[in-house]
Structure formats: C-alpha cells, structure tokens
Amino acid sequence: MSQQFEHVALIGLGLIASSISHAMRRADMNTRITGYARSSTTRGKARKLGLCDKVYDSLADTVRGADLVVLAVPVGAMGAIAKEIAPFLKEGAVVTDVGSVKRAVIDAVGPSLPKSVHFVPGHPIAGTERSGPDAGFASLFDNRWCLLTPEAGTDKKAITKLRKFWEALGANVDEMEPDHHDLVLMVTSHAPHLIAYTMVGVADDLKRVTDTEVINYSAAGFRDFTRIAASDPTMWRDVFLNNKEASLEILGRFTEELFALQRAIRIGDGDFLFDYFTRTRAVRRSIIEAGQDTDEANFGRGATDTDK
Ligand code: NAP
C-alpha cells in the first residue's frame, strides 16, 4: 500500500467534505478529488468553488478508481449509499466516514462493503452550525481531534494511512472503541445540542408573551444556545435517532442533576449551588489546559469557527 492516497472520492459535498477538500489543497496533496452530491444546486456550487477535479451525479462514477472513499452525508443516509457504491469500489480501497455516531454507521455500512476493501470509520470532532459546500474552510480540523473507530482485525496499514491523511489536514488522531465513542460524544456534543434546542424552544414560546424582549435582550448564554440550535436539522435528527441508547442514558442523568439544582433553589441551599458551580468551573479550566479552547472573549472563536 503506497504512503499517500492518490484519488479521494468525497460522497456528499457539505461543510465537512468541502473543508476536507480545502485542507487537502492547503496541504499541497497531489491527489485527484472526485465528488458526489445528490442535488444539482450543491453540485453547481461545488463546481463553482472548485472543490473537486470532477463533480458527478453518479455514485459509481465518483468512487470508481478511488483509493479513499469518504462518506460525508447524514448518518441515516450512509447505509443506502454503502450498498450502492459497493460494486464499484476498487480492490484495496479504504472506505471511511465522518459521521457523528459510530456504532449505527458501522452496523449500516460494514455489512454492505466487499471484503476486498478496508472500512475504517472516523469522526472529526470539528464543525460549525453552518452547512453546505460554501460553509467549508481549510483550517476547520486544525488542532481538533479526529477519532477513528475501526473494528478489531482491520488492516493496520489502512488505519495508518488514514491517520496520516487526517494529520495532513491538521487534525490530531486517536483511536476509540465505537460504543465508547458514542457515549463520550453524547456527553460532550449531542446532549448539549439537545439542551440548546430545548432552551431556544422555551424562549421561542416565551417570546409570544414578552414580544421581542427575548431577542432584543439576548445575553451571551442564550446567544450561544441559538448558534448551536441553528445547526442542520437533518444531521441532528439522525444523530439522536442513531445514538438512542446513549441519548437516553445521558438525558436521564441530566434530568436528575437538573432536579437536584431545582430542589436546591426551592429550599434555598446556596452551598449546594455554589459547590456545584465551582466544580463545573474547574471543568472549563481543564478544557483550556488541554488546548481545546482559549480564555479569550467569545472563547477565542471567529463567527464560524466553532466546535461540535
Ligand atoms: P451538510 O453540510 O449538511 O452536507 C451534507 C451533504 O450530504 C450534502 O451534500 C447533502 O446533499 C448530502 N445528503 C444529505 N442527505 C442525503 C441523502 N439522503 N443521500 C445523499 N446525500 C445526502 O453536512 P455536514 O455538516 O458536512 O455533515 C456531514 C456528516 O458529517 C454527517 O454525518 C455529520 O454527522 C458529520 N459531522 C458533522 C459535523 C458538523 O458540525 N456539521 C461535525 C462532525 C461530523 P445536498 O446538498 O445535495 O442535499
């Protein structure tokens, strides 16, 4: 197996795939890029942006001859696509995905792929609330983690080659067991999204009572929630439907904690609230120390450079 991919096929040309393309170009990879999108609007935008050497409306044409195939569509769409591309995959190709959930993708994609290809599932922990081909940018993966979740027995050379690919795009790469990934990401990303969706929903109901006050006097906490709650509805619907067990586990725990805080407020237990908020403050400090955020205003982020 050669050291670098010579032909990368991007299936789905949204935020993540377009960022991969920009980061590949920035890394000066001498790699052919083919891309597939289902809608002519997305294909048109991708062509205009020059994201790929060739954009196709056919999955077969996109993957033919590729030595890396990246599935970058919503989690719920991956199984059907895997089935469709299977007969056209090159022998020895690496197939990966960027889905935010790993077990459901492995179960949906794995069985459809021929034995002659290497399936190495992945998840770049990087994104924004924006979507589509024009949302991508080259630095999206810089210093962000990309987690690979291969099943035991997967070809080591294929894993190493994919690891090097992500490192060239700016990411730090680690391996994780898929079910563990799904639980960890539920805590760090998925449940916070659901909470943001809920809080914005509550405010939206309230808005009917207070007119435009919720919008006009929107403070930083709520504004951050609205940014998160503006994330793509299809993507997030699929994340929760495909990570059901971890969703219910973490939301159960969240509800218990919320009730404990509610009770402390009701009975005036200031010590409980103070100790709780002191403990959570320390969590933020450890994220900054791990180099995954800064202490600057707006968390050091630009308007579009945010994590998922
Ligand atoms: P996106 O910007 O919304 O792009 C999704 C792409 O998938 C579009 O090209 C869309 O095509 C295509 N697509 C949607 N449904 C499809 C279907 N049923 N069949 C075929 N193609 C379909 O999404 P994204 O943010 O790049 O997310 C892609 C994947 O990355 C998801 O699995 C997501 O979980 C994962 N991910 C996202 C983030 C994030 O923050 N956004 C972070 C890490 C991982 P059209 O434009 O033609 O409709």
Report the pLDDT value the prediction gives residue 301, as an integer from 0 to 100: 45
The answer to whether the CB of 43 falls within 8 A of the CB of 37 is yes
What is the whole-number distance in angstroms between the Cα of residue 163 and the centre of ligand 1? 22
CA distances from 45 to 130, 132, 142 (A): 15, 9, 24
Assign 100 to helix, strand or coil. coil
Report the pLDDT value the prediction gives residue 244, as an integer from 0 to 100: 95
- Same domain? For 150 and 20 the reply is yes
Hey, which residues does 174 pair with through a beta bridge? 147
Report the alpha-carbon distance of residue 71 to residue 98 in Å, rounded. 6
- Within a domain: residue 1? no
CA distances from 10 to 46, 153, 209, 235 (A): 11, 25, 47, 17
Report whether pLDDT(299) > 70: no
- Same domain? For 21 and 160 the reply is yes
Report the alpha-carbon distance of residue 238 to residue 90 in Å, rounded. 29
- Same domain? For 145 and 229 the reply is no
Q: What is the pLDDT of residues 18-63, one digit of tens each?
A: 999 999 999 999 899 999 999 999 999 999 999 999 999 999 999 9
Report whether pLDDT(242) > 90: yes
Report whether pLDDT(161) > 90: yes
Q: What is the pLDDT of residues 164-222, one digit of tens each?
A: 999 999 999 999 999 999 999 999 999 999 999 999 998 888 876 666 777 777 777 88
Mean confidence (pLDDT) of the chain: 92
The answer to whether the CB of 103 falls within 8 A of the CB of 129 is no
Report the pLDDT value the prediction gives residue 44, as an integer from 0 to 100: 98
Report whether pLDDT(268) > 80: yes
Report the pLDDT value the prediction gives residue 286, as an integer from 0 to 100: 85
Final residue before a domain boundary, out of 176, 211, 231: 176
What is the whole-number distance in angstroms between the Cα of residue 158 and the centre of ligand 1? 24
What is the whole-number distance in angstroms between the Cα of residue 190 and the centre of ligand 1? 16
Q: What is the pLDDT of residues 79-97, one digit of tens each?
A: 999 999 999 999 999 999 9
Report the pLDDT value the prediction gives residue 308, as an integer from 0 to 100: 44
Report the alpha-carbon distance of residue 243 to residue 100 in Å, rounded. 9
- Within a domain: residue 105? yes
Report the alpha-carbon distance of residue 98 to residue 235 in Å, rounded. 12
Final residue before a domain boundary, out of 149, 176, 203: 176
What range does the domain containing 233 cover?
A: 180-307
The answer to whether the CB of 89 falls within 8 A of the CB of 64 is no
What burial class does residue 172 get, using C-beta atoms within 10 Å of its C-beta: 0-12 exposed, 13-18 middle, 19+ buried?
middle
CATH number of residue 49's parent domain: 3.40.50.720
At 9, the pLDDT band (50, 70, 90 cuts) reads very high
Report the pLDDT value the prediction gives residue 295, as an integer from 0 to 100: 64
What is the whole-number distance in angstroms between the Cα of residue 42 and the centre of ligand 1? 11
CA distances from 7 to 67, 68, 215, 301 (A): 6, 6, 48, 33
Report the alpha-carbon distance of residue 190 to residue 200 in Å, rounded. 16
Q: What is the pLDDT of residues 270-286, one digit of tens each?
A: 999 999 999 999 988 88
Report whether pLDDT(5) > 90: yes
- Same domain? For 160 and 198 the reply is no
Residues with CB under 6 A from ligand 1: 12-17, 37-39, 42, 72-75, 77, 98-100, 123-124, 127, 131-132, 135, 232, 235, 308
Minimum CA distance residue for ligand 1 atom 42? 127
The preferred substitution site among 19, 38, 84 for testing ligand 1, maximizing ligand atoms within 8 Å of CB, is 38
Final residue before a domain boundary, out of 134, 160, 176: 176
What is the whole-number distance in angstroms between the Cα of residue 289 and the centre of ligand 1? 32
- Same domain? For 197 and 269 the reply is yes
Report whether pLDDT(304) > 90: no
Minimum CA distance residue for ligand 1 atom 40? 127
- Same domain? For 158 and 287 the reply is no
Report the pLDDT value the prediction gives residue 22, as an integer from 0 to 100: 98
Report the pLDDT value the prediction gives residue 298, as an integer from 0 to 100: 46
- Same domain? For 219 and 172 the reply is no
Of the chain, the percentage scoring pLDDT greater than 90 comes to 80
Q: Which residues have CB under 8 Å from 154's CB, separation 6+?
A: 118, 119, 120
